[in-house]
Structure 1
Amino acid sequence: MFTCKKMMSALIAAGMASLAVAAPTTSSFGVVVLPDTQFYSRYATSAEGSQFMNRYGSEPYLAQTQWLADNAKTMGIPFVIHVGDVVDQQNKSAQWSVADAAMKVLESAKVPYSVLAGNHDVINGCSYNGSQSDCTDAQRNLASEPYLKWFTPARAQQQSTFGGRDASGFHEYHVFEAQGQKFMVLSLSWRVSDAGIAWARDVIAANPTTPVIVSLHEFLAIDSDGKSGRETPFSNMLWERLIRDNDQIFMVVSGHNHGSARLTRTNDYGHPVEEFVVDYQMAYQGGNGYMRLFEFDLGANQIKALSFSPWVPQKPSDSLNQFDVAVMTDANNEFVVEMNFTDRFAGFNPDFSAGQPNREQALVEAVRTSILENYDDIEPVDPVLPFDTEDYPHAAGTLAHWRFTGGAHGSAVADGGVVADRSGSGNPVVRAPLVNGALAEDLVWSGDRHALSAADGSACFLANSKHGVRESYFQTIADAPINADTLSSGYTVEAVVKIHKDWTPGNNAWMNVLTRDGNRGDVPGYSGGDPESTPLLFAVSSLREFQWEPTYATPNGHSAKSVWSGEIMADTWQHVAIVNDPVTHDTTMYVAGAPVLRNVQNAPGIATLGLPWVVGAGLWESTRTDGFFGCISEVRISNRALAPSEWLTARKTRVIGSGSRQNLVGTAGDDLITGNVGADVLTGGDGADTFVFRSLRDGTDTITDFAPGEDKLNLHGVLASVGYEGGDPLADGHVRVLDSGSGAVVQIDADGSAGVGAARTLIVLRGLTAQQVSAAGNFLF
């Protein structure tokens, strides 16, 4: 999106440059990391509908490598590192063809790069479990591995920086020169073997004065906060066997774990080793073309990081949305690491120096300018934390809304315990009877929650598995109206869940968040596979992907097909929304607000056998099995396609007064209305509104249209202001509701009914009686 302002800035800059040429002041170079490209390779193929080309007229993988081909030499980027998962499915040659074409762009431009195999690039990509006796390169049939056929040793040798590959062909090293100094990139593919580690040590020993960057597919993980780096069993093993006693290794970069994070670790020489993980595959469009620049500013003794997308500015303007941020500016994607390179490398290269200044502007700023030259970047929208437990859109068309909260943290959910339907539609769920060895303590209440959910807790399933024993779950009552609903006019299903940190495929593959009871083979006209399964599967696959597979109506009966997410990290809260369009009946899954790439078309409704909905377990034939292992905070089912602004992670509209004695009017939706000092007149309008009172100085306010049972009075702040520490202010007289000639009045008594102080009127509720208002459900304390 070109702007006149940017054109004028460019002209002014050009004019200034013609008057004087500034001398270079910075000595730096850049290395760019290509994070997991697997979804770019997969969804560019015709088998997956050529999604990028059909939607945008371009492809992210090609956009990345073309930008590098066009800019690497002029910007001083001597090397590119691919951290693996080149493709998503190693047995699909079309995906390898996409990757092959993209990397050939770098080869044609003579831009050197390293590449390595991730777990998706090898036939057996199992993870490290403490042993080197399986799934390493030593256990592979090298002649059968597609990675070695597409990225051959001969192909790698064409790179001007190529130093060699190990005997397996999976690991390689390169040496590039920048600012008069040599640097090594040591690329180790998935699950490097003992022999591969020995080879790596020999390579470093043969280049004793060269600083080393180690690149791998998996190394650093990301903690459940989504920001903090965390070591893994594999990273600890490699630290002990390769890194800690090799002072030349000053940096490790990896992908695999979704997001971006970093750690600093100290080696045996007392020197820092900077560790980075960069992986955007779960972001919008499988990564939205993001890649990471590391600028090594040798003069300023800094490593500067910037993540950006050369693809986003290429997209048609009418296709852009809130996810299309071209330059990421949050602290995990733009940052500076201090490193005195001369001191850090002195122990093995005492002659290392910064070199002559080669640029006037920092490389990260030059790249930022290049990317945004003809693009007005999207302002990222910071998520808003909930103000209280009612701070979410109470969407019209909600058939059921279950919040799994209410008990003391760690206490068991009672056998037969009821979770109310917050929608008021009469669809509660109850804990199923304890059978097949299930214990009460297998399902407990928890204070753990998603930061963006207004729910203040969750229920945690601690013993469920795929083995059909000790299954704990909830189900709707037999005569619940929702049991008969087929949602044929579109729907939205939301769930806020966290997979347990100890999840394993062997115990928990195909565990269910939500199902409908019965066998889909009994649905009239069903013609799909697995008739023993349920009419709805909302499950977690053996690859830890969310699966949404409803049995839907066809012209000739019923069938089933699945929507899939990418890999979901354990021990991390997720909000999932599945939205079915009322016209096209296309179904789209959103994880953390971003649409996934594997969606389905023309799948109307969810078939039913008139049996209960089940939360936390599945059914195979007549056996209850595949129970959810982790925590579920809330589930909501709506009979229409909700917009993101209506999801559980959205907030009510803020209506805030700016002075005393105002008339504040809310919107037609759900509002959070906060008056100010003095007597205000507040009108909520339609929707479920919350009126917030923070101190006794706020009153006396008049609310003209309070709707008992739907609207709420939030008195948390005002009670805190008078030092209230009790648990039931209505019962102990700190909050009183009385009748008056103007309507019901709400009074605050600072010392309660036992005290001698007088109560003060805070709110007048016009047109209502005290009996209509006095129920505790109308208040938030």
Structure 2
Amino acid sequence: MELKLIKIKRLAPRLLCIILLMAYLSFSGMAVNAKAPVNINPTQSHDINTSFCKEDRSFSFAWLTDTQYYTSKYPDLYKLTVQYILDNRESRNTKYVIHTGDIVDNSKKEYQWINADNCLSLLDNAKMPYGVLAGNHDVNHDKKDYSEYDRYFGEKRFCSNIWYGGSYKNNKGHYDLISAGRNDFIIVYMGWGISKAEFDWMNQVLAEHKDKTAILCFHNYLNNTGRRDFVGEEIFNNVVKRNKNVIMTLNGHYHGAARKEDKIDDDGDGVYDRTVYQILSDYQEGPMGGGGYIRYITFDTKANKVSISTYSPYFNDYNFFNNNESRRDSYGYQDEFTYPLPLKSQSLFGWQHRITDLIPGWHKSK
């Protein structure tokens, strides 16, 4: 009897997948006919969320930053880098792409914006969810001139996408809602020039989505010595510590790679409730303005961990910085490391909230 129950449990996910797929076909007006050919366009596959059928236990986000020299001098390298992400979308199970600023080198040079637009349009055309923010080079540094950024990467570019959650000041800040492997994420972005008004907006958004795992993206926050800069310290105290769902921050700006871990006691009982992982990535001082290095953030829901690795499709090389044993700690190396992270694992009983993903025209609440 016990053996039969085990077999039933193993078959249940496949049976549910078949039932849900048949329901979708019926709902969308497609007759279920074994003899009728079905035309499936692979580039549109993410429009129907069937990740629960694949029993995804591992998925990734790709992270780009400080690409200003690609847009000013090496646009072909930029295209190659973005195309690699798309070509390996399935093999790496990449669900989302992050860009943490300095899209261009000189915000007054239109050709640089055109190059950036052409390269990142590859993601638009492939319907790959992604988010961007403005670095200091994108807004003429202390002048904080967002006019060109607004023109090319303002709210209008993104607002029709179902994963785009909402905008602050025409995409100076915004948040995206991404679901993968039964885990619901809110990725919050805020561009160059952050003060109390920006803190208030981020806190409001995070409070409204406190049931989602939050990743915060900035241009400057952690420096290359592994310490928060002035802005980073303000963000940490006014946003990170106040929101229990924040588990990670990502930033560029400072040349190099560094990380910092902070344990936080949310309820004041003397016991740490969460660890916030803060990561800097910026390879612009490398050959050809960064060598096409991509940081992959890979989530493993079965092992409850998140692994960060770095790869250049141009050089076919892992880890811009060599794995120096003298700098190794319990998490790993400078470019390659793994953090423990509680995640929801794939299970039959957690799939019911994804049935709506099969209904055409369904949108996430914004």
Q: TM-score range by the shorter chain?
A: 0.7 to 0.9
2:155–2:170 Cα contact (<8 Å) kept = no
In the other structure, the counterpart of 2:269 is: none
Q: Which runs of 5+ in 1 are unaligned?
A: 1-23, 45-51, 53-58, 127-134, 224-228, 314-324, 343-352, 358-781
2:319–2:335 Cα contact (<8 Å) kept = no
Cα separation, 1, equivalents of 2:101 and 2:217: 9
In the other structure, the counterpart of 2:162 is: 160
**One-letter amino acid matched to 1:186:** V
In the other structure, the counterpart of 2:238 is: 241
In the other structure, the counterpart of 2:191 is: 189
**One-letter amino acid matched to 1:76:** N
Higher relative CO (Cα under 8 Å, sequence separation at least 6) belongs to: 2
Q: 1:281-680 alignment to 2 at 5 Å?
A: 281-313=284-316, 325-328=317-320, 330=323, 331-339=333-341, 341-342=342-343, 353-356=344-347
Cα separation, 2, equivalents of 1:326 and 1:263: 22
Cα pair distance change 1:161/1:26, threshold 3 Å:
closer
2:177–2:186 Cα contact (<8 Å) kept = yes
Q: How many residues align structurally?
A: 279
Cα separation, 1, equivalents of 2:210 and 2:55: 30
1:162–1:173 Cα contact (<8 Å) kept = yes
Question: Among residues 115, 122, 131, which one is paired with 1:98 in the alignment?
Answer: 115
Q: TM-score, normalised by structure 1?
A: 0.35
How far is 1:158 from its partner? 3.5
Alpha-carbon RMSD: 2.0
In the other structure, the counterpart of 1:621 is: none
Q: Which has the higher helix share?
A: 2
SS in 1 for 2:128: coil
Q: TM-score, normalised by structure 2?
A: 0.72
Q: Which has the higher strand share?
A: 1
Percent of aligned pairs with the same residue? Answer: 29
2:297–2:306 Cα contact (<8 Å) kept = yes
How far is 1:284 from its partner? 1.3
How far is 1:292 from its partner? 0.1
Question: Among residues 103, 116, 119, which one is paired with 2:136 in the alignment?
Answer: 119
How far is 1:73 from its partner? 3.9
**One-letter amino acid matched to 1:72:** R
How far is 1:37 from its partner? 0.3
How far is 1:29 from its partner? 1.1
Cα separation, 1, equivalents of 2:162 and 2:95: 11
How far is 1:335 from its partner? 1.3
Cα separation, 1, equivalents of 2:72 and 2:279: 26
1:211-249 CA-to-partner distances (Å, cap 9, x unmatched) read 1000111110112xxxxx112111111111111111111
1:161-200 CA-to-partner distances (Å, cap 9, x unmatched) read 1001113531110001101221011011012232222111
Matched, 1:68 2:90: no
Cα separation, 1, equivalents of 2:208 and 2:292: 37
SS in 2 for 1:253: strand
In the other structure, the counterpart of 2:257 is: 260
In the other structure, the counterpart of 1:231 is: 228
Cα separation, 2, equivalents of 1:234 and 1:355: 38
2:139–2:145 Cα contact (<8 Å) kept = no
1:93-146 CA-to-partner distances (Å, cap 9, x unmatched) read 0001110000000010010100000000002x23xxxxxxxx6xxxx565xx21
In the other structure, the counterpart of 2:39 is: none
In the other structure, the counterpart of 2:73 is: 43
In the other structure, the counterpart of 2:6 is: none
Cα separation, 2, equivalents of 1:168 and 1:192: 15
In the other structure, the counterpart of 2:171 is: 169
How far is 1:265 from its partner? 1.0
**One-letter amino acid matched to 1:94:** Y
In the other structure, the counterpart of 1:219 is: 221
Cα separation, 2, equivalents of 1:147 and 1:249: 27
* Larger CA Rg, structure 1 vs 2: 1
Cα separation, 2, equivalents of 1:25 and 1:196: 38
1:486-524 CA-to-partner distances (Å, cap 9, x unmatched) read xxxxxxxxxxxxxxxxxxxxxxxxxxxxxxxxxxxxxxx
